[in-house]
Structure 1
Amino acid sequence: MFNDIGPLELVTLIVLAVLVFGPDKLPKVIQDVTRTIRKIRDFSDSAKQDIRQELGPEFKDFEFEDLNPKTFIRKQLDNEDLGLKDIRSGFDLKKEMAEVTDAVHGRDAEPATPSASPSSSSSGSSGGRVDMSKKPERPAAEERPPFDMDAT
């Protein structure tokens, strides 16, 4: 429940609780808080059971975590009936992005294989990777538009 609280933060919370409630009232406050949390958990569990009973037997394996979109998509991607794994394996996002990047920068894409013909050089790329060490060519100083100090 509190996995992201570090030891220093825990000590700080304990010291603050002792200062706010005092050492005499602190055990009673802790009991009240734990009792309230237990009641909330029981209420949510009974609400989940009521919803499952109302939905009927066809939703027996329904989990409320499935309502989270990320969980739903992850489950559907693992489902073999839809054939999504074949679609995902046939689509190379890195290659597509490299081609788009090359087109935006006005560079000709390099052939994917060394034996590719020059006519196929526009469809291939350098293994789906973009060479970030190359700096894009900049126009000469006389080709640049005039700089307006007042506009900036």
Structure 2
Amino acid sequence: MFNGLSFEKLLLVGVIAVFLLGPDKLPSYAAKLGRLVRTLRDYANGAKVRMKEEMGPEFDDVDWKKLDPRQYDPRRIIREALLDDAPAAAVPVIKPVSRPEPAYLSRQKDAVPSQAHDDSATPFDSEST
């Protein structure tokens, strides 16, 4: 976050702060900034201690750099998944099996013409079940 922040830039920010705030208010604002930084550091340390207490000995085994969200690049993840050179599991070849005639059609063929259903009946899809 502060990669490009050098000593010269910090000095320049300090000089601008002296001119904007004035020498009479600068010490009080510096003290407030110090308290804020100390409070934030205490919150972070408290969260770390609480995490260690709740996770127990497993806390030391966690590779925190691996869980850093900044390292995740969705394009890289998808590319690695698609270009995976690991041998794929052998997929069994399924040969088509001749299926027996559906019961509906066999009953229609065996039906006496007087008992046959009309053509407006609801169609039956034998592969849907």
TM-score (structure 1 length as normaliser): 0.39
Q: Which has the higher helix share?
A: 1
Greater RCO (CA < 8 Å, at least 6 residues apart): 1
Larger Rg: 2
TM-score (structure 2 length as normaliser): 0.44
